[in-house]
Chain A
Amino acid sequence: MDTQQKFTSRTWPESPEKTTLEGKNKFLGFWLFLGGETVLFASLFATYLALKDQVPNSEHYLAKDMFELPLVFIMTMLLLTSSLTSVYAMYHMKNHNFQKMNTWLLVTVGLGLTFLGFEIYEFNHYVHEFHHTFTSSAFGSAFYTLVGFHGAHVAVGLGWFILLMIRNSKRGLNLYNAPKYFVASLYWHFIDVVWVFIFTVVYLMGMVG
């Protein structure tokens, strides 16, 4: 099937992300990549759990002294909502509604940026209030590496969405770019799932000591 063919919402196929062979490959390849990413984060979680509260002396603050649930709760809500809005975007992608898709993607990006803003504030807070830094202890290294890897994934996901929106702003949806939007949204969901585990393992478990 020709990837540059023009479509209307009537002729648009049901699963545009998997209609071409390239799309099908991309779809499967990206799922597999996320499988690898899962193992990557599993390794980081394991490292964090082994090094949680491992500090050189009693002058260092521990997880239960630093974390504040209200802040993390807001961040969680922001990211979960952004996952929902990216679902809306994909819903409109599947219905060949380019304008609405872009609108929801914009909302997603906005929520993601706000989340990143909160994360930067949070890190800054720990560094200045508690002298909890990347180099201060094994706990600090593990914490910033795990949460920072997630933050970097958020940043990459945002850059990806923005690049896609700019590149395709003039030409609308076709079978060449539909799989690209789709895998970007898969990536965004994955980031969201990882955050759910960070929320549980790092913050909730951190509160109970």
Chain B
Amino acid sequence: MSTVAQKKGFLAILWDYLTTVDHKKIAILYLVSGGFFFLVGGIEAMVIRIQLAVPDNSFVSAGLYNEILTMHGTTMIFLAAMPILFAFMNAIVPLQIGARDVAFPFLNALGFWLFFFGGIFLNLSWFLGGAPDAGWTSYASLSLFSEGHGIDFYVLGLQISGAGSLIAGINFLVTIINMRAPGMTYMRMPLFTWSTFVASALILFALPPLTVGLFLMLFDRMFGANFFDVTMGGNTVIWEHLFWIFGHPEVYILILPAFGIFSDIFSTFSRKRLFGYSSMVFATVLIGFLGFMVWAHHMFTTGLGATANAIFAVATMAIAVPTGVKIFNWLLTMWGGSIKFTTPMLYAVAFIPSFLAGGVTGVMLAAAPADYQYHDTYFVVAHFHYVIIGGVVFAILAGTHFYWPKIFGTMLNETLGKITFWLFLIGFHATFFIQHFLGLMGMPRRIWKFLPGQGLDLFNAISTAGAFLMAAGTLVLLYNVIVTSRKNVRVGNDPWGDGRTLEWSLSSPPPFYNFKQLPLVRGLDPLWIEKMEGNTKMTPAEPIDDIHMPNGSIIPFVMSLGLFIAAFGAMYQVDWRASGGEEFVWSLPVLIIGMLITIGSMATRSLKDDHGFHIHKEDLLKDEEKGGKE
């Protein structure tokens, strides 16, 4: 491994990314594949809106519509939003706490490849007989009777990518607990690190119920078990519970890192320390905690009884309190600040009213008796798109602009960024604000077409027009990315000029070992403290010495590939057994071969020692003479 810049061929670069364990490169992998799935999910959304643009439309057939609707939700949550947030966590959190890498670089790569192969597997369903069509919640009473392999793709794909998320969660928890630089106490961690920490804890405790739920579904559909088959003593409500015990914390897994990104953006571009830092931390932890107490508010109409509904309604409303604390803290951070309206800041400012609207409808929905009216209408669709787009997607877009220079070493064009912002903001409100009223007027969610003359025509047409504005905004962003990469103007450590936290003390992108000397953290916003004292660099906490780094490895890729192959075998052995052993004879061998690849690579990993390597002091000093760049 040489630190000297080399001109590499395409294959060498490909191999580098297939084997990398560097958190910064894994971040790029997450960002690119998450971005790809975001576009796929976006196209699915456009098809939904085109189908609903005019009454009695037949742009897509009813069956295909169900598949697109299901895949839109599943893709956006599991394959777009989570991975893109993982991209920022990977790129930024180790830098923010002053670490040279994450705690488990190998597992970090494994987590990515599991997500990647799970996502590919799920999307291959389009080409192999049809996608899942029982909604992203895939309620068992419906999904057990879905024909073909759509639901099997859903179950196996999410099982594989879910394992990847769990690994990522544990990795970030250990990284943040064990790898902080000298002086970086918990109460000096930037809010993005804090929210990553809490979101990772949620991942750790929320993913296993989904794993179990998916296993039960898998056993029912593929191995003849009877968990959800009422005629055999089963109970379909078990799936609802397991799914939502995962599903509700999942929305906090998404929104907490979004809050973290916005908190950092607010303080950076208000050029003020975050107002009420400790109450922000407390609110983050409290939201994480309460996030586990509210899952049954998705099941008010299931029939759990008035007592259960009342408890879950009150717990749900309680979440508005810490969230309100956050909203006021953001406003007060801006209050009296010297605000710069950069693209990330525009998203942050627009996020407050947008997300607040989603929060208000959230409290409305939490009132269980009223929910009987809203349930399964477009009101709910409007609500969750207000929190997910107004919160998470805005944060993803803001973070993309904000962290782009740190990840790629070049700035996205600000003018194009602002055009994207306005198109997206207007498009978003045009699409979803009106859906509140569609819902109140009685339009059910998930329907394929509506009839003319019921007063739904105009609002649906407006909603579709808004969706096209969002699509236009996304295209401008893509154009921006291409133009920026072509120009490739390199930027320095702190391209925004107002960086407060450790990531802005490093070159953009940072050298592969991040910190030549671990920095000494002397308070909240450590770089800002140094700037205020007239220093241009962080004060080092240690002399220059050898740095220990992990070796790259292809094993994470192979391990995940094995599961990907095995999943095909597991799925088609159902047909093999159904045909009495006549067809699909390859299925069982494929299952076994896939599992052997995975288990074999796990054994290789444990039996072969991997001690990593050292970057020597002399090379580091040589690097310094060249300006510290790779």
Contact = CB atoms under 8 A, between A and B. Distances in A.
Contact of A141 (B166, B178, B219, B606): B219
Interface string A36-53: 110110011011001100
A167 B174 CA distance: 27
B347 to A, nearest CB: 33
A135 B225 CA distance: 5
A197 interface: no
Contacts of B226: 135, 137-138, 140-141
Nearest to B173: A32
A37 B171 CA distance: 15
A21 interface: yes
Interface string B221-251: 0011111010111110010011001000000
Nearest to A171: B609
Interface centre among B174, B178, B204, B219 (most CB of A within 10 A): B174
A43 B103 contact: no
Interface in A108-157: 134-135, 137-142, 145
B219 A138 contact: no
A139 B226 CA distance: 8
A180 B166 CA distance: 21
B207 interface: yes
Contacts of B166: 36
Contacts of B223: 134-135
Interface centre among A39, A54, A139, A167 (most CB of B within 10 A): A39
Contacts of B238: 46-47, 50-51
Q: Which 6 A-B pairs have the closest CB atoms?
A: A54-B233, A138-B233, A141-B225, A40-B208, A43-B212, A138-B234
Contacts of A64: none
Interface in B81-105: 103-104
Contact of A21 (B178, B205, B224, B242): B178
A145 B234 contact: no
A145 B242 CA distance: 15
Contacts of A137: 226, 232-233
29 contacts: A21-B179, A24-B178, A25-B103, A25-B178, A28-B177, A29-B171, A29-B173, A40-B209, A43-B213, A44-B212, A46-B241, A51-B235, A51-B238, A54-B233, A54-B235, A56-B232, A135-B225, A137-B232, A137-B233, A138-B234, A138-B235, A141-B216, A141-B227, A141-B234, A142-B227, A145-B216, A167-B606, A176-B611, A180-B606
Contacts of A209: none
A43 B178 contact: no
Interface residues of B, number: 42
Interface string A171-187: 00000100010000000
Given A29-B170, A137-B226, A163-B603, A50 B235 contact: yes
B410 interface: no
Given A21-B178, A28-B173, A141-B225, 13 more contacts: A3-B611, A35-B205, A36-B208, A43-B245, A47-B242, A51-B234, A51-B235, A134-B225, A137-B226, A141-B234, A145-B219, A145-B227, A163-B603
A46 B208 CA distance: 13
Contacts of B234: 51, 54, 138, 141
Interface string B191-210: 00000000000001101110
B212 A47 contact: yes
A75 to B, nearest CB: 24
Contacts of B209: 39-40, 43
Given A138-B235, A142-B227, A145-B216, A176 B609 contact: yes
A24 B606 CA distance: 18
B607 interface: yes
B211 interface: yes
Given A21-B178, A24-B178, A35-B204, A51 B170 contact: no
A33 interface: yes
Interface in B507-532: none
A43 B245 CA distance: 10
B215 interface: yes
B574 to A, nearest CB: 13
B298 to A, nearest CB: 17
Interface string A1-31: 0011000000000000000010011001100
A60 to B, nearest CB: 8
A161 to B, nearest CB: 12
User: In which size bucket is the chain A interface?
Assistant: 35 or more
A56 B231 CA distance: 6
Nearest to A44: B212
A4 B232 contact: no
Interface of B: 103-104, 166, 170-171, 173-174, 177-179, 204-205, 207-209, 211-213, 215-216, 219-220, 223-227, 229, 231-235, 238, 241-242, 245, 603, 606-607, 609, 611
A107 interface: no
A21 B179 CA distance: 9
Main secondary structure of the interface of B (DSSP, over half): helix
A164 B219 CA distance: 32
A207 interface: no
Contacts of B229: 138
A51 B208 contact: no
A193 interface: no
Interface centre among B173, B178, B225 (most CB of A within 10 A): B225
B52 to A, nearest CB: 37
Nearest to A177: B609
Nearest to A135: B224
Contacts of A139: 233
A29 to B, nearest CB: 4
Contacts of B609: 176
Interface centre among B216, B229, B231 (most CB of A within 10 A): B216
Contacts of B170: 29, 32-33, 36
B326 to A, nearest CB: 26
A163 B208 contact: no
B225 A36 contact: no
A19 B278 CA distance: 33
B168 to A, nearest CB: 12
A55 interface: yes
Contacts of A32: 170, 173-174, 204
Nearest to B225: A141
B232 A29 contact: no
A6 B587 CA distance: 49
Contacts of A4: 611
Nearest to A54: B233
A21 B223 CA distance: 44
A55 B233 contact: yes
Contacts of A145: 215-216, 219, 225, 227
A82 B348 CA distance: 56
Given A138-B227, A176-B611, A47 B216 contact: yes
Contacts of B219: 134, 141, 145
A50 B216 CA distance: 13
A35 B170 CA distance: 10
A37 B204 CA distance: 9
Contacts of A39: 205, 208-209
B453 to A, nearest CB: 47
A50 B225 CA distance: 15
A25 B241 CA distance: 33
A25 B178 CA distance: 7
A133 B232 CA distance: 12
B208 A43 contact: yes
